[in-house]
Amino acid sequence: MQTIKGKISGISGPTVTAKGMSGAKMHTTAFVGKDGLLGEIIKIQGEQAILQVYEDTTGLSIGQEVVNYGKSLAIRLGPGLLSNVFDGIQRPLESLRLKAGNFISRGINVDVLLDKTWEFIPKIKKGDAIGAGDVIGIVKENESIEHRILVPPYKNGVVKEIKSGNIAGDEPVVILEDKNTISLYHEWPVRQPRPFKQRLSPDTPFFTGQRIFDTMFPVAEGGAAIVPGGFGTGKTIVEQTLARYAKSGIIVYVGCGERGNEMTEVLTDFPKLLDPSTGLPLSLRTVLIVNTSNMPVAAREASIFIGATIAEYFRDMGYNVALMTDSISRWAEALREISSRMEEMPGEEGYPPYLATRLGNFYERAGKVKCLGNVERTGSVTIVSAVSPPGGDFSEPVTQASLRVAGALWALDTDLAYRRHFPAVDWNKSFSLYYSSLKEWFTREVAEDAILLRDRDADRLTMELGRLVKEVFLRQSVFNDADAFCTMEKQYWMMKCIIEFYGRAKKALGEGTYLDKILASPIAARLMRMQDIPSNVFKQRAGEMIGEIDVGLGGMAK
């Protein structure tokens, strides 16, 4: 690749402008200044390139060198990821501490994952044809997880030589006839989703062990859920609880911009926790990515994509992976700060106009897939993201942008949290779009009446009736001639229809009718349009609707 050298011409916090960068490409990395700080090109203007630097830029000065090798921001994937703690650009924090002390020096780097040897057990032989995603062997990384060594997505060929036994660093384990090699490790650009054969329908629940999530607002394996809530509502507790107890093969936990004391608790507790399923330490199947609020803001923006790449890597082995991000709002704040330093036109509340697109790029990496490779296997990445709306206002941009792409909302409520109700989930605001696709699983795997028990919940019927009252009776439009003025007679008959519907629905519910069937009935749809009927004919139409309620819902109850 072409090496491009430029000079620093401007510095604004983590954003650096370099001149003399003709030929540089977007989203490629560069080393900035005499200390070789890692940065990424995020904007190009002629021969000038604007970079976000993933380390503290204190001490940089105009005229220092910027070197670009044309490589995208990528991380190393292979044995050693589990039980490790990385910063926002995949530097192992323990190795950095041993090398530089408790305070990380600028420009310091270590060879990620290349400091150990692993016993490689081959699963192929000389002369075999191999392709992307094939399992060439395994490494017993620990007693909990079998680490499957895969052919990288960009390689294939015929095996000329294969090794076994203890393998060190990036030593080749497979030599192909075309002289290409495959080692225990390969690199992958973090902003590029890893490929797969086929995306599968979300038909299996992601078990959290929390009743309100699993029963009322379930998420499918390969789905995405957001957990918004104001300060003190327990977002981090929910994330940590799921990391500890959710039924998932691998946990990737991204502490994105949170306070250092919260991450200290995670780092202190995880090594002591036991996996309820195996009795082994939970840390054996966990990867932690830490970028606290006092760490460089640019690395925070990259951290969630590093987490997604690691999660996809284990997904490709055939594991079900849970990716926890805490919190996506801190990530968005980093995006906003970088955007403002680039003097881009701000959108709502100062966030860049492409906030929703970037969030979509992240959430779309959730999914249940059929993996690449000659041995059929499936894997999934389930994303659960904490959101920290200022003042608990769910109408703010980050929450709304997340809602457009997430399949479940677990809304946390301040009043419930103050009453020590955990999880502090507001069941009126929360929802799940996965429920319909999971009904068959619950009926088949739990009990035939599992869905019936949930849907016969009279409280849910009461909430649905409250929505009908709010949307149809209490809300009135001055722009609708039939609804702008409502006679007392119409008001009476509207209430009559609503109460009649509730009574009949409650009876049908008690006799075994699914609530979803009741709500999907034609009469329920007609009631939602009552306000559009003129007052002078409403009494007649109301009588017809009450008759339909008696016949339609009465027939269901039978």
Sign of the alpha-carbon dihedral angle for 116, 146, 123, 375 = negative
For the domain bounded by 114-184, which CATH number is listed? 2.40.50.100
The tokens of 257 are what? 């911009």
* Partners of 202 in beta bridges: none
- For every one of its 558 residues, what pLDDT tens digit does the chain have, with 9 covering 90 and above? 688 999 999 998 888 999 999 989 988 999 999 988 989 998 898 899 999 998 888 889 999 999 999 899 899 999 999 988 888 888 888 887 877 777 777 777 777 888 889 999 999 999 999 999 999 999 998 888 899 999 999 899 999 999 999 998 788 999 999 989 999 999 999 999 999 999 999 899 999 888 889 888 999 999 999 999 988 888 888 888 888 888 889 999 998 887 777 777 777 777 777 777 778 888 888 999 988 777 778 888 889 999 999 999 999 999 999 999 988 999 999 899 888 888 888 888 889 999 999 999 999 999 999 999 988 999 999 999 999 998 888 999 999 999 999 999 999 999 888 988 888 998 878 889 998 899 889 888 888 877 777 766 667 788 788 888 888 888 887 778 888 788 888 888 999 999 999 988 888 887 777 777 888 888 888 999 888 999 889 999 999 998 888 887 876 654
The Cα 366–Cα 368 span in angstroms is 7
What CATH number does the domain located at 456-557 have? Answer: 1.10.1140.10
The string of DSSP codes covering 488-500 is HHHHHHHHHHHHH
CA distances from 420 to 104, 209, 425, 430, 490 (A): 39, 19, 11, 19, 45
Contact (Cβ atoms closer than 8 angstroms) between residue 184 and residue 199: no
Note the helical H segments in 153-248: 211, 235-245
Structure tokens at 88: 């926002």
Residue 365 neighbours by CB distance under 10 Å: 21
CATH assignment, 198-435: 3.40.50.300
78 C-beta neighbours (distance < 10 Å), count: 21
Exposed/middle/buried for 201, CB within 10 Å: 0-12, 13-18, 19+? Answer: exposed
d(CA 467, CA 465) in angstroms, rounded, equals 5
Could you say which architecture CATH assigns to the domain 4-73?
Beta Barrel (2.40)
**Strand 129-130 vs strand 157-162: parallel, antiparallel, or unpaired?**
antiparallel
Report d(CA 517, CA 509) in Å as an integer.
10
Kindly list the domain boundaries of the chain, sorted by start residue: 4-73, 114-184, 198-435, 456-557
Three-state DSSP at 484 gives: helix
